Structure 1
């Protein structure tokens, strides 16, 4: 996410985007609690009251930040799919975990705003579109013979549970981030192979 260069005038209508960009900077620096309207205004070079013309309160600003982060998060994953030389579904999972590692505070905000049943209407619509896109990736992989022909929704939920849990373990410090690349690859590969030995029964 980008912000305007300090000292340059705003283009008409750009202030909300600029405020959100500075709020994301604060989020990255110290987490959601650091996103304070007065500091966002100071960084944007506007009066303390200016943000309230676009966001009625801090909660509204944070909601806009969550929406921007969710768009960024989804776009990065879909870009990984497009760039994958092989097994796009694997690239998707790796991109999910790498985003959480690179942006732990953004991941925490997503956890509290997107990975919850209490999504705002904008986040709900974004989540629906992203879910449809991921389901499409799964179906395409099944048609190419890369993924088994299970219910695409179940495949999606299982894969999301894996990468969400793995991401949270890294963010919480339970897993060593210096081993991230190896663990991500090995865990995703094991998920792909399955953990039951041939001939085993549940």
Structure 2
């Protein structure tokens, strides 16, 4: 008798946890509630994950992977704006549309002891931003400089903009309304980074 394939059950558990996270934040993610939403036995979640922290770490890994993929896929395709603008827009869209996932990674309670896989996924995300920078430099949209340093500056800007929008600080009359104007802010910031002609 061959061993049972647990991958579909694990995938269902992670998908359920992802839905619960986005609808109710980290407090909504318990192994019991995840098992109920996934439609698996109460003990199934415990067979695949040591506890809530382990399950949240799996979501963090998935989030980092999805964010890097979104940057690459959108930045590399043709469409409105430059590849740099499209990749940055993809970053912001992901963060704003999935705020609890984004906050799981970059909020005030990050994963306490990130695994090697999570660290590697975070590095891959910065690599995706670095590739956007290198492409923008080749196209004359960004000036000379270390792609790594420029990618760090770009990430700091995107993160700040995403956090301000997620936490509701981009609103009239104090600032431009984030719901309608976040892309305008992105365009202004990227134009300020463009080298002088």
Between 1:128-137 and 1:98-107, the stretch displaced more is 128-137
**1:1-202 matched pairs, under 5 angstroms:** 13-85=7-79, 86-112=81-107, 119-176=114-171, 179-180=177-178, 182-194=180-192
Note the C-alpha offset of 1:12.
Answer: 5.1
Helix, strand or coil for the counterpart of 1:99? helix
| TM-score, normalisation: structure 1 | 0.81
The CA deviation at 1:75 is 1.4
Conservation of the 8 A alpha-carbon contact between 1:101 and 1:170 = yes
Query: Are the aligned partners of 2:70 and 2:90 in contact in 1 as well (CA < 8 Å)?
Result: yes
2:74 and 2:178 mapped to 1: Cα distance?
17
> C-alpha root-mean-square deviation of aligned residues, in Å?
2.7
Residue range with higher mean Cα deviation, 85-94 or 106-115? 106-115
| Equivalent position SS for 2:86 | helix
Note if contact 1:73-1:99 (Cα within 8 Å) is conserved in structure 2: yes
Shift of 1:152: 0.9
CA deviation after TM superposition for structure 1 residue 49, in Å: 1.3
Q: Deviations over 1:134-179 (max 9, x none)?
A: 2122112212222211211121111111111111111111113993
Report how far residue 39 of structure 1 moved.
Answer: 0.8
Question: In structure 1, the residue corresponding to 2:168 is in which secondary structure?
Answer: coil
Q: Whole-Å Cα distance in 1 between the matches of residues 86 and 152 of structure 2?
A: 16
User: Distance in 1 between the 2:78 and 2:151 partners?
Assistant: 18
Runs of 5+ unmatched residues, structure 1: 1-9
